[in-house]
Structure 1
Amino acid sequence: MPESIDHLAAGVDSEYRPHLLFEATTPDKSIHTVHAWKDGNHWKSVKVDFGGPRFWLGLAFGNAGIELSSIRKGLHVVFTDENDDLYYQRFDDSQWLPKELVWASAGSGKTVPSASIALGAYDVPTIAFTVEDRSDAGDLIFLELRLGTLSNKVWSSATLVNKAEAFGSNQMNRTGFAPQLRFDEKGRMHLVFMDKAYLTDKSGDKYEASGSIRYAYKRPDGWYYKTLLEQQAPQEINSFPRLSMLHPQVALSPDGADVVAGGMVFREAASGGRSAFSLMVVEAENQFAW
Structure 2
Amino acid sequence: MSSAPTPPTSAHPTGHTGARHPDGTGLSVYLDYNATTPVDPAVLEAMLPFWAEHFGNPSSSHHYGPPARQALHRARQQVSTLIGATHDSSVVFTGSGSESVALAIRGAVLASDRLGRGAHVITQATEHPAVLAACAYLRDLHGVRVTVLQVDSTGLVDPEGVAEALTDDTVLVSVMHANNETGTIQPVGEIARLAHARGALVHCDAAQSVGKIDGRRSPDRRWPARRGSSPRPGRPGIGADGRGWCGRSRRSGPTSSVASTGRPAARRPGRTAAGHRRGRRVGCG
What TM-score results when the alignment is normalised by the length of structure 2? 0.23
Point out the structure with the larger strand share: 1
Q: Relative contact order (C-alpha < 8 Å, sep 6+): which is higher?
A: 2
Point out the structure with the larger helix share: 2
What TM-score results when the alignment is normalised by the length of structure 1? 0.23
